[in-house]
Amino acid sequence: MNNNRVQIPKRIKDLREVLEISAMDMAKDINVSLDTYIKYENGAQDIPISVLYNIAGKLGIDVTALMTGEDPRMDSAAVCRKGKGVKIERYPGYEFSSIAYNFKGRTMEPLLVTLDSSGPEAAKVTHSGQEFNYVVEGKLKITVGKAEYYLSEGDSVYFDATLPHGQSALEGRARFITIIQEWS
């Protein structure tokens, strides 16, 4: 199991308790049920990146602090070398790397996502803002609302992230860059 995936729920719970925020208040403020929130904190349920952002906002920290345990340091430019992003395995067959994690005050989150068609299809998510996906390897099915888009290497899609959306690999492994920009 990915160490970051294990540490993130612990960091969230520890920070929430230090700030004296009840689990019930946190769940309400990030718009999830208390049961779901408890599962996030216990590591029993995957935490979508959009929810990580909401939790970080409630805790008053950068999402990088949740993912790495450290605050971002760069404020003019942050280079991320090949294979050096902060990797999070959401579940078998779905992982992402934050590739701008060390830049302070990001207004968008670029991620390199790797999907495997042998893994389960990701649940549809919604979040504020907009999202851009660019396929760098393989083939993807991207669902936005009721529409399905089939993309290959070099194809992209830009969409309203408030619509239920999800991506799944077709024919083996697929990798894509997603850039998420959420509105506060």
pLDDT of the residue at 1: 41
pLDDT of the residue at 69: 85
Our count of domains for the chain comes to: 2
Q: Tell me, yes or no, whether 62 and 111 share the same domain.
A: no
* Residue 165, in any domain of the structure: yes
- pLDDT tens by residue, 16-41: 999 999 999 999 999 899 999 999 99
Q: Tell me, yes or no, whether 117 and 168 share the same domain.
A: yes
Query: What is the end-to-end Cα distance of the chain in Å, rounded?
Result: 32
* Residue 26, in any domain of the structure: yes
* Contact between residue 2 and residue 89 where contact means Cβ atoms under 8 Å apart: yes
> What's the pTM value of the predicted model, to 2 decimals?
0.80
* Residue 95, in any domain of the structure: no
Interatomic CA distance for residues 84 and 97, integer angstroms: 8
- pLDDT tens by residue, 121-142: 777 888 888 999 999 999 999 9
Interatomic CA distance for residues 162 and 184, integer angstroms: 13
Identify any residues that bridge with 116 across adjacent strands, giving them in sequence order.
Answer: 173
Q: How many CB atoms lie within 10 A of CB 31?
A: 9
Interatomic CA distance for residues 121 and 118, integer angstroms: 9
3-state secondary structure (DSSP) of residue 36: helix
- Report the CATH number that the domain containing residue 42 is assigned in CATH: 1.10.260.40
Tell me which residues of the chain have a pLDDT lower than 70: 1-5, 183-184
* Contact between residue 66 and residue 52 where contact means Cβ atoms under 8 Å apart: yes
Which domain does 8 fall in, by range? 3-68
Q: Tell me, yes or no, whether 9 and 61 share the same domain.
A: yes
Interatomic CA distance for residues 36 and 47, integer angstroms: 10
